[in-house]
Amino acid sequence: MIAALSFLTPLGGSRTPTAAAVPWFPVVGLLVGAAVGGVWWGAGELWTPMVAAALAILADLVLTGMLHVDGLVDSADGLLPHLDERRRLEVMAEPTVGAFGVAVGVGVLLLRWATLSSMSPDVWLVAGLWSLSRTLMAAVMTTVPYVRPGGLADAFAGAPKATIALGWLLAAVVLALALEEPVIAVLPAAWAAGGAVVLLARACIGGYTGDVLGAAGVLTETVGLLVASARW
């Protein structure tokens, strides 16, 4: 649990990642989401919906160390332009941010803010979606080739695939507490959005990197919020 926490957040201290941490990814997502949802709810008691949404987004950036948003930006710069496979991996490893990364990063953050500010604060909704996004990360690590040999994610090789089913179940139960009608639509739509990022990475670079995991997770959460905020 602590190893998963240290990999997915700035908390937990410095620890060597192991495959045993992967089953705890959905739980860490649940905890982070509950904290973000708690900030959203608490801020909503004091400020307008727009301010509450902004504070929730800031809380997420702090609790994740901006790791996943950084992955989103780097993946946009590497996967969206017309580049060869080697150059894509080089661009994703560079610390600078290009036009694709800026556009996608700003667009996704604006969409998250707009969806949150259009809904009543709901801790269960955020907790469920954040758990689902970490479940997707675990699923990618256990089913898709890792394309940076010797990289950090190599330590997760051999993780149990049962994590995927358990994470899905956990996310579905938590989301069911938050949503009345659209829970059936939220789960597959959010999962499909994250999966689309992975499929793009598979086509462009042959597998996944840490940046791809972050991008897939952020889009899973964002599309889940988008579907949940629809006027059903």
Is 14 within a domain? no
Q: What is the dihedral of CA 110, 113, 118, 123, to 10 degrees?
A: 150
The predicted structure's pLDDT at residue 170:
81
Is 95 within a domain? yes
Range of the domain at 59: 2-7+20-228
Q: What digits encode the pLDDT tens for the residues 15-45? A: 667 778 888 888 999 999 999 999 999 999 9
Is 224 within a domain? yes
What contacts 147, CB < 8 A, 6 or more positions away?
A: 89, 205, 206, 207, 208, 209
Q: Measured between alpha carbons, how far is 82 from 152 in angstroms, rounded to an integer?
A: 27
The predicted structure's pLDDT at residue 158:
62
Is 215 within a domain? yes
Residues of the chain falling short of pLDDT 70? 12-16, 150-163, 179-183, 232
The predicted structure's pLDDT at residue 2:
84
The predicted structure's pLDDT at residue 176:
77
Domain count, the chain: 1
Is 108 within a domain? yes
Is 13 within a domain? no
The predicted structure's pLDDT at residue 8:
82
- CA distances to 112, 133, 141 from 224, in Å: 10, 10, 21
